């Protein structure tokens, strides 16, 4: 089995994805919204959380073009989104994915995919996703080792904003209904078999909680002001734990970290762009 660096630049087959108000409401519940967030959880004058882009904008990814590898060794490492205006409560997009980069890290291969999602009727670009995966055991294929990562360090000053949300014990069971049915997030026996004491929360659920905090603190829940968000998954969250998002603002951008109750960073190297 080996990754193929010639795959860089190749595109996948465009994929169409439609969604309804039920889907966007369910997503909001999956990332912790409730009766205090009726603009996202009730269809009257409904708004859509911008991070919903990770649910409907990840189609057409050309996994079949990158070579052969064991999917069980794939770890979702980083996620970034750009949104180009409010997402409608119901809609349809056509998404095209491509292999953006592939690096050989020796013991692992690192592959980044990018997707563009365009409105199926107007052709307008609605959102863009960038996903980086680490594939353990897939390095050593003779590819480019890639640039050295610039060290990320949060500012030494006190955060400009901190927002804490409590996840529920059944959070993963709700979130998985938006599409990621991996049993790792529901089956206690499977979780223990792969080294976790209990089922873990989806990384993209943590990402959604973080996006809510950024939207609330920096955009006053005005979805039209939300521009971009990226971060690296560094540690799992367990359903029932609280997550705290720390933000340091610089004009119309911010850096952030999300931590668990012990202070461990669970989403790192966060960068957020918004309309000031």
Catalytic residues: 180, 185, 200, 203
| 230/78 Cα distance (integer angstroms) | 7
Which residues, 6 or more positions from 19, have their beta carbon under 8 angstroms from its beta carbon? 52, 55, 56, 90, 91, 92
163: enclosing H helix or E strand? strand 161-166
For 28, other C-beta atoms within 10 Å of its C-beta total 26
Which residues, 6 or more positions from 162, have their beta carbon under 8 angstroms from its beta carbon? 244, 245, 246, 247
Residue whose C-alpha is closest to residue 226's, from 236, 244, 211: 211
- Do 14 and 96 meet the contact criterion of CB atoms below 8 Å apart? yes
| 192/171 Cα distance (integer angstroms) | 19
């Amino acid at each position: 089995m080996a990754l193929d660096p010639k795959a860089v630049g190749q595109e996948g087959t465009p994929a169409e994805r439609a969604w309804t108000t039920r889907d966007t409401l369910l997503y909001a519940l999956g990332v912790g919204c409730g009766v205090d967030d009726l603009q996202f959880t009730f269809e009257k004058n409904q708004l859509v959380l911008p991070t919903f882009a990770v649910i409907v904008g990840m189609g057409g990814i050309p996994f079949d073009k990158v070579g052969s590898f064991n999917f069980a060794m794939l770890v979702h490492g980083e996620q970034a989104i750009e949104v180009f205006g409010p997402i409608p409560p119901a809609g349809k997009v056509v998404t095209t994915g491509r292999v953006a980069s592939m690096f050989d890290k020796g013991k692992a291969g690192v592959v980044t995919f990018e997707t563009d999602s365009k409105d199926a009727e107007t052709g307008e670009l609605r959102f863009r996703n960038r996903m980086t995966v680490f594939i353990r055991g897939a390095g050593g294929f003779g590819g480019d080792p890639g640039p050295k990562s610039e060290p990320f360090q949060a500012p030494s000053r006190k955060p400009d904003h901190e927002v804490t949300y409590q996840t529920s014990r059944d959070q993963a069971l709700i979130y998985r209904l938006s599409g990621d049915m991996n049993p790792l997030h529901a089956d206690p026996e499977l979780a223990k078999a792969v080294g976790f004491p209990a089922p873990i929360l989806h990384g993209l659920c943590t990402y959604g909680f973080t996006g809510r905090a950024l939207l609330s603190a920096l955009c006053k829940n005005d979805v039209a002001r939300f521009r971009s968000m990226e971060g690296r998954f560094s540690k799992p969250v367990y359903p029932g734990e609280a997550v705290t998002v720390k933000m340091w603002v610089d004009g119309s951008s911010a850096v952030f970290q999300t931590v668990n109750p012990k202070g461990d960073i669970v989403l790192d190297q966060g960068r957020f762009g918004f309309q000031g």
